[in-house]
Amino acid sequence: MATVDDAAEGAEQDESGDEDVQTGSLVSQSLPHEYLKEALEFDVESFRLDGTPLGDRGTLDEDDQFLSLVDEGNWGTLEIDGAVSVEQDVVEDAFPFQEWEETPGRLALVKENPLAHTRDREILTDSPSGGEIYEFTLSIDRDDYRGRVKIKPFLTRTEKGESGGSNHASKVGARVADGLSWVIRLDDSEDGGGLLMPIIEDFSDYDEFPGDNHIHYLSLDPPRNPQLYLNREHKQVANVLNNTGTTGGPPRLREVLYDYIEHSVWTQLLMQTAGDTSPDTGEPEYAWQEDVLDIFLDELYPDLADDEAAIQLAEDVRSHVDIPDLVQRIDRAVHHKFDIPSDATNLIEEAIQSDD
């Protein structure tokens, strides 16, 4: 079954030349196509806590695009109203001339919360037009997040383009532009809370945990939700994972470490969900597995409806013949969801800048 990654493989080969874009950024220099960094204007107009304007609650720094709610209790939902602007010159720089009128692009806000191991997006528009402003309302449910939530706009390509002499992206899913981030700092829950919010423990204190050479452990013991544990005995690693900064080397390293953990965790969750899903009805055994299916089914089986895709997943995991192919598709789906190369490149860029 073909996936978005399958469709992009040819384009990936076409773009292997890695031309130097000369923008002063390693991220841009390492890409084989034009990348417009901080070119999208991302404006937040208002915040509401449980439907009430923020007022003097929290600590708001509009210049640095930062809101802290660390000292604010008794709230359930933060709503954010704003807009993302796409200038005409962004469209003209990101896409070739023949695509300016109907751009094969998608404008989305990516919402990332490393401590809760979540990264999701809200699509603002397909085929954005130059000079247009796209309004949005985002919601952050306090029970679902922990620590720092970063919200950033991206413009990505949605159709395979022509490769060759052009310096424009041709790969499906390639990011071609972004904007400055807004960062929301939330209260930390004390016990790890909901799905995948990690708890830090000394692994040597628990017989069921793996050896002390492990950084993390995912408990899938029913009937509770999966619980992620981080090993406190790796002190330096634990300190990096607990870092709450937004710039500098330690935060960059934290993102890369969480990418490594996320890949392992989501692969385990997908395999467990596949095994617990009925090949007759497509229904999973536990409620949390419905969330896992919602996240990945479109990526794994883009040509099937959700119920058909769930049944196919359950059948594939039970087939000895199809298991290798399923594992490869799961690996591609997890990689497509999380931008691992970007975080690693940012870390390298930080290291190079520190050496200068």
pLDDT of residue 276: 94
Q: Residue 46 is which amino acid?
A: S
Closest CA to 38 of 145, 146, 180: 180
- Conformation bin of residue 163: beta by default, left when phi > 0, alpha when psi is -120 to 50: beta
| Strand locations in 144-251 (E) | 148-157, 175-179, 182-185, 199-201, 216-219, 227-231
Distance in angstroms (rounded) separating the CA atoms of residues 155 and 33 = 14
Question: What fold does the segment set 4-185 form as a domain?
Answer: Coagulation Factor XIII; Chain A, domain 1 (2.70.50)
Distance in angstroms (rounded) separating the CA atoms of residues 286 and 123 = 29
pLDDT of residue 147: 78
The backbone torsions φ and ψ at residue 21, rounded to the nearest 5 degrees and listed phi first, read: -85, -15
CA distances from 95 to 15, 102, 145 (A): 15, 10, 36
Question: CA 268 from chain center: how many Å?
Answer: 18
Q: How confident is the model at residue 246 (pLDDT cuts 50, 70, 90)?
A: low
Distance in angstroms (rounded) separating the CA atoms of residues 76 and 81 = 17
Using alpha carbons only, what angle is made at residue 144 by residues 47 and 177, rounded to the nearest 5 degrees?
A: 60
SS3 108: strand
pLDDT, one tens digit per residue, over 25-52 is 334 433 445 778 889 999 999 999 999 9
Distance in angstroms (rounded) separating the CA atoms of residues 47 and 70 = 15
Domain boundaries, the chain: 4-185, 243-355
Q: What is the DSSP letter of 149?
A: E
pLDDT, one tens digit per residue, over 63-106 is 889 999 988 878 889 999 999 999 999 988 888 888 888 888 89
The backbone torsions φ and ψ at residue 228, rounded to the nearest 5 degrees and listed phi first, read: -95, 130
Query: For residue 280, is pLDDT > 70?
Result: yes
Model confidence, pTM: 0.51
SS3 347: helix
pLDDT of residue 287: 80
